[in-house]
C-alpha cells in the first residue's frame, strides 16, 4: 500500500517541518534543565537513528550481498559461514551480558560461561584488527610521509631561513611535548646533575605549555564546528519557517516593530 496516496500532497513535508521544529526546540530546552520532554526528544532521536541504521545495514549489506549469496550457494565458499557464526556468537553473548546488567538473574550454567568466553573471541578479533589498522595506517599514512616531507624540505642546509627556523621550533616543541609526556620529574630527575635537571625542567615546562595550547586548539576546533552546526540549524529553521504563512506573518510583525 502506498502511504502517500492516503495523505494530501505535501502533507508529510509540512508535518515533518513542524515536528522537526518542535523536537529541535525540545532538545535545545535541555539547556534550561532536565525535564521529561527533552528526554523524550533525545530518546526519539537516538531511537530513530539506530532504527534507521539497522534498516540501512540490513538492506545495503546483509540482505543484498551476504544473505543473498548464502541463500543461492550456501557452501561455496564455506568460509562465508565463519563471519555469520562469529556474529551470532557475539550477538548471543552480548544479549546475555545485557540481561545480566539489567538485573535478570540467569541460572549458573557452564554453557552460559562458555558462551561468554566464546563471545570474547570475535570481540578480541575486532579490537585487534582495528588496533593493527590504526597503527599501520598512522605510520604509513601520517608519520612516515610527514617525517619524510619535513626531512627533505625543512631541515636541510640551503633551505630558506624562515622555513629552517620554523621547522627547528616545531622540532624543539615536539620533542618538548614528548619529554613532558614520558618524564616524571619526581621520579626521573632527582638523581641527575643540577644542570641536567634545570635544562630538562625548562624543556618540560615548554612541552606542557605546548600541550595546553594543543588542547586549547582542539577545543577551539570543536567549538567552531559545533557553532557552525548550530548556526546552520538556526539559519535552516529561519528560512524554512519564513516560507510558511505563519512565518510570513511573523516577519511582517517583526519588520513593523523594527520600523523597516
Partner 1 sequence: MATVLCPHCGTPNREGSHFCNRCGAALLAAPHATPPQQQPASPATPDRAASQPWLDPGFVGEDDVPLEEESADQALLGEQAPLPAPRLVSALQGLLDPIRVVTIPQEGGETEPSLPATALTAEKLRRVRSLMAEEPLVASSPLPVPAPSLWLRWIFGILAIGVAAPLLLGWPLPADEPTRWTGVEPGFDSIQALPSGARVQLLWAFDSATVGEMELVSSPVLRHLAARRARVAASSLLPAGPATAQRLLSRIDPERTLWASPDRASAVPSVRFLPGGAAVLPLLAAEPADLAVLLAAQAEDVQHWLEQVAPRNRVPVLAVTAAGADLPLRPYLESGQLVGLVSGFDGAYQYNELLGQPFAAADIPLLRRQIVGQSYGALTLLAIVLLGNFAAWLAGRPRER
Cell of 125: 578479533
Cell of 110: 557452564
Neighbours of 200 (CB within 10 A): 19
Q: Which is nearer to partner 1, 238 or 246 (CB)?
A: 238
Subset of residues 58 to 77 that bind partner 1, contact rule: CB under 8 A: 60-61
Q: Which long-range contacts (CB under 8 A, 24 or more apart) does 212-219 make?
A: 214/177
Residue 181 binds to partner 1 (criterion: CB under 8 A): yes
Subset of residues 29 to 48 that bind partner 1, contact rule: CB under 8 A: 31-36, 39
Using CB under 8 A, pick the residue from 88, 99, 134, 171 that binds partner 1: 134
Report whether the peptide linkage leading into residue 256 is cis, meaning its omega lies within 30 degrees of zero: no
Task: Please choose, from the candidates 69, 123, 71, the residue with its C-alpha nearest in 3D space to the C-alpha of residue 94.
Answer: 123
Residue 248 binds to partner 1 (criterion: CB under 8 A): no
Q: Which is nearer to partner 1, 61 or 114 (CB)?
A: 61
Residue 12 binds to partner 1 (criterion: CB under 8 A): no
177: helix, strand or coil: helix
d(CA 118, CA 87): 11
Can you give the length of the chain in residues? 260
Calculate the CA 47 to chain-centre distance. 18
Per-residue binding string, partner 1, 141-180, x by CB under 8 A, is xx--xx-xx------------------------------x
d(CA 145, CA 141): 6
Q: Minimum distance between the CB of residue 114 and partner 1, rounded to whole angstroms?
A: 26
Q: Minimum distance between the CB of residue 112 and partner 1, rounded to whole angstroms?
A: 22
Per-residue binding string, partner 1, 214-233, x by CB under 8 A, is -x-----x-xxx-xxxxxxx
Binding site for partner 1 (CB under 8 A): 31-36, 39, 49, 52-53, 56-57, 60-61, 129-130, 133-134, 137-138, 140-142, 145-146, 148-149, 180-182, 184-187, 189-191, 193-194, 197-198, 201, 208, 211-212, 215, 221, 223-225, 227-236, 238-239, 254
Amino acid at each position: 500500500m502506498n502511504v502517500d496516496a492516503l495523505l494530501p500532497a505535501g502533507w508529510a513535508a509540512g508535518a515533518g517541518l513542524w515536528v522537526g521544529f518542535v523536537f529541535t526546540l525540545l532538545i535545545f530546552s535541555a539547556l534550561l534543565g532536565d525535564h521529561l520532554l527533552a528526554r523524550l526528544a533525545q530518546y526519539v532521536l537516538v531511537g530513530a537513528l539506530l532504527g534507521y541504521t539497522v534498516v540501512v545495514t540490513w538492506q545495503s549489506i546483509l540482505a543484498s550481498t551476504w544473505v543473498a549469496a548464502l541463500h543461492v550457494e550456501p557452501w561455496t565458499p564455506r568460509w562465508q559461514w565463519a563471519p555469520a557464526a562469529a556474529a551470532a556468537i557475539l550477538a548471543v553473548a552480548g544479549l546475555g551480558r545485557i540481561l545480566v546488567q539489567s538485573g535478570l538473574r540467569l541460572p549458573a550454567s557452564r554453557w552460559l560461561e562458555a558462551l561468554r568466553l566464546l563471545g570474547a573471541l570475535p570481540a578480541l578479533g575486532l579490537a585487534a584488527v582495528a588496533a593493527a589498522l590504526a597503527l599501520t595506517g598512522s605510520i604509513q599514512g601520517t608519520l612516515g610521509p610527514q617525517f619524510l616531507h619535513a626531512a627533505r624540505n625543512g631541515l636541510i642546509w640551503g633551505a630558506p631561513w624562515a622555513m629552517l627556523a620554523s621547522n627547528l621550533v616545531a622540532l624543539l616543541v615536539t620533542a618538548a611535548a614528548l619529554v613532558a609526556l614520558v618524564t616524571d620529574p619526581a621520579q626521573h630527575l632527582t638523581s641527575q646533575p643540577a644542570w641536567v635537571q634545570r635544562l630538562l625542567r625548562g624543556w618540560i615546562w615548554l612541552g606542557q605549555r605546548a600541550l595546553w595550547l594543543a588542547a586549547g586548539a582542539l577545543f577551539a576546533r570543536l567549538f567552531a564546528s559545533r557553532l557552525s552546526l548550530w548556526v546552520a540549524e538556526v539559519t535552516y529553521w529561519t528560512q524554512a519557517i519564513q516560507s510558511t504563512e505563519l512565518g510570513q506573518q511573523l516577519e511582517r510583525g517583526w519588520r513593523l516593530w523594527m520600523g523597516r
